[in-house]
Structure 1
């Protein structure tokens, strides 16, 4: 093979432009660091003398400001260049995680300090997430958008699996403080990559009437599209019960019936492998009815809860978790493609913020109620209840005509803005059949568990 042929063979695809490549590389860096840091922060609390309740407090401290500031973060990201918001948020996460690491390495962390630093990290994530999703959705164009999103998610999920495994090994070898320090460095490195993003193709933002006016405008865009608010409403509950089943009931079932944390870790790893497999599928498959196919793939999310309710042998649970990972990744790529296709570029971050808010808002409530539900009804009925809720809500969403009928456009788009060359959401009434062309939270590593809608 000649050198010219080798260069041609390994040339970056046309749809993987500069911004997309930088965003993907930065996501790999952050996911490698963040997945290990999730484990390290829990062990840091325990190492400091805390108990399971303290671990929960530190985790909740990150979620509360994330929910509170998401909408402001989305509005801000649609007013100023998104990559600046992302870099600033990465800088804040670098400082908060670096301070956390120093406290742990010095051996003097107090619970209130860990809670405060975790909350600061949640603020950074609240501003980062809508900006990141809007930036990613505007970085690709044309009919290859679905393939680009699938590759991005595959890289992100693969880095997450590797990061969790590497983080666990490093915690055992050198302690949680160094893993937190590595995560801080990863935030700095990712922020440096994102600083080179080119936003020259993005039209200048028109002066608006302030943050509140922008939020109202984003809300009108969100509520005017039945497919959008219906699926976000669905996932506000689905995410909550899935997280409750996996985070609360899963470890208990593993302890009592499956042999402990080892088998449960294997099941979670199978889910991660399934997401990579699902992304590989979506690299080649372009379902025509985006959201119909994606919503059908939400039904398997009920299977892990059902398997834990039985409970099935570990081999069956591993297979179920792998299938669930594949299915939810098909939904995830379809959802991103629909957002890219239907939402005007200048409103992407605000709409993403409402999506994020819906995906996260009920998770703390569901995890808090999981224990009382087990006490009142029993673990097995509670798990069957989770499965039934997922099936019923997913079936209900399929009753929405726009969810069944929204189809992938085959026409070229203008630039990287995701707006059709002829007609689109801005030209026709949002959410009406005329606005649908005839023949759909993780976007980044910092996305929390369950942020799929």
Structure 2
């Protein structure tokens, strides 16, 4: 029997099932997830405005953002266990409500109590962390298998659009609204994230009378065992962690320096970041329809494209080289993200999906601040050239090594038969 074509771009035909974007249940989920993402992005930007207006000090800003990150990282595994133990919809509801309630507390404590600001920031971070794996698992409940890649692409498109248009909108609103009011607006977004998503599947049946439910550690360890059943997941997670800890962190630290010292203008920084976001938008649009024959290999090759970003900063060249490299990195990151999320939703045992997703978020979000903290001292000690060279090699070589892991070709233990088209 002949194999599938090398790649396909899905045609739109009259007899094809309607797009996931026309399903009310998904649109409610999309709106709730988008609201949570916009609220997550808005908080540090609005607090940055508070520093510019002298409402808080830079030290207070750093403390609040730090405890928010700590709250996020602590809550991610907790949210994963709770979302597998109870209804995924209920975890989204209560975690988002916690962030919604803490946001007015943060607004009222601006300039009055740094300690209260820190507590509110930690609660908001915990709400953000707990809802992430729950949203991932709820997507698998609401969207049918054959449409999940399109659904995940729509989710990430929303994130990129808000990243591109959000700063301009916030700056515009800041001309007529004060900082506390803007924070209250982000609280309204958290309220929308809590109330908009649809119901998924019912919560798992409780343990029989007299039977003890496993503790948190045991349930989380069960999720780790499930992750270990999927070599492609472990290899891909290592590759993603390596790219985030090196390429993403290095470009975040070194790009402003190169923009100022090599090109003599901060416009290079703004243009490169915009090109990255625009590339990511294009990548999400492309992967919503494109189905590579070897999905896992294509995704890992796309992830390796992030190496062009530090490479463009390492090698002297015109501004256009940096801009194009960042656009390619943006395309690549979404050509990886969307199949990655879709494969997790397809391959992982549904009762453990939120816990495995929490491992993904713990590693990817957790290593970002670590990488950012280590890159600056490394640049001071060795100079930007060696650091960028090492980061470039890591971004290219580690995803290539992950492609050699068994089952990585299709991001599936079952081979090509588990592709989304086959499960539609």
* TM-score for the superposition, normalised by structure 1: 0.81
User: Which 10-residue stretch deviates more, 28-37 or 179-188?
Assistant: 28-37
Structure 2 residue aligned with 1:57: 63
Alignment of 1:90-239 (within 5 A): 90-104=96-110, 108-171=111-174, 174-194=177-197, 197-199=198-200, 201-202=201-202, 204-205=204-205, 207=207, 208-239=213-244
Structure 2 residue aligned with 1:13: 19
Cα deviation for residue 76 of structure 1 reads 0.5
**Correspondent of 2:91 among 79, 85, 97:** 85
Structure 2 residue aligned with 1:378: 383
**Correspondent of 1:27 among 33, 38, 59:** 33
Distance 1:77 1:178 in 2: 32
Cα deviation for residue 12 of structure 1 reads 6.4
Cα deviation for residue 110 of structure 1 reads 4.3
2:253 corresponds to 1:251? no
**Correspondent of 2:371 among 346, 357, 366:** 366
Structure 1 residue aligned with 2:340: 335
Q: 1:92 to 1:406 in 2, by over 3 A?
A: closer
Q: 1:375 to 1:159 in 2, by over 3 A?
A: closer
Distance 1:145 1:297 in 2: 20
Distance 2:40 2:393 in 1: 33
Cα deviation for residue 190 of structure 1 reads 2.2
Structure 1 residue aligned with 2:323: 318
Gaps of 5+ in 2: 1-13, 208-212, 420-424
Tell me the SS of whatever aligns to 2:57: coil
Gaps of 5+ in 1: 1-7, 408-430, 441-453
Distance 1:179 1:276 in 2: 27
Q: 1:301 to 1:255 in 2, by over 3 A?
A: same
Q: Is the 8 A contact 2:249 2:372 kept in 1?
A: yes
Structure 2 residue aligned with 1:42: 48
Tell me the SS of whatever aligns to 1:78: helix
Q: 1:240 to 1:176 in 2, by over 3 A?
A: farther
Cα deviation for residue 345 of structure 1 reads 1.6
2:353 corresponds to 1:348? yes
Structure 2 residue aligned with 1:436: 415
Q: 1:263 to 1:15 in 2, by over 3 A?
A: closer
Q: Is the 8 A contact 1:298 1:394 kept in 2?
A: yes
Q: 1:242 to 1:98 in 2, by over 3 A?
A: farther
Q: 1:251 to 1:89 in 2, by over 3 A?
A: same
Q: 1:31 to 1:68 in 2, by over 3 A?
A: closer
Structure 2 residue aligned with 1:289: 294
Structure 2 residue aligned with 1:400: 405
User: Which 10-residue stretch deviates more, 217-226 or 301-310?
Assistant: 301-310
Cα deviation for residue 320 of structure 1 reads 1.6
Q: Is the 8 A contact 1:93 1:121 kept in 2?
A: yes
Distance 2:311 2:395 in 1: 11
Distance 1:157 1:308 in 2: 23
Distance 1:203 1:176 in 2: 40
Cα deviation for residue 25 of structure 1 reads 1.4
User: What root-mean-square deviation, in Å, do the aligned CA atoms of Structure 1 and Structure 2 show?
Assistant: 2.5
Distance 1:112 1:169 in 2: 30
Q: Is the 8 A contact 1:73 1:131 kept in 2?
A: yes
User: Which 10-residue stretch deviates more, 87-96 or 172-181?
Assistant: 172-181
Query: 1:368-415, CA deviations, whole angstroms, 9 ceiling, x for partnerless residues?
Result: 2122101110122212221111112112111212112446xxxxxxxx
Query: 1:136-169, CA deviations, whole angstroms, 9 ceiling, x for partnerless residues?
Result: 1222113222122212222332233222321133
Structure 1 residue aligned with 2:8: none
Tell me the SS of whatever aligns to 2:199: coil
Query: 1:242-271, CA deviations, whole angstroms, 9 ceiling, x for partnerless residues?
Result: 342233222222232344444312221221
Distance 1:439 1:187 in 2: 36
Distance 1:171 1:253 in 2: 30
Cα deviation for residue 15 of structure 1 reads 7.4
Structure 2 residue aligned with 1:241: 246
Distance 2:316 2:41 in 1: 28
Structure 1 residue aligned with 2:4: none
Distance 2:159 2:410 in 1: 30
Cα deviation for residue 50 of structure 1 reads 2.4
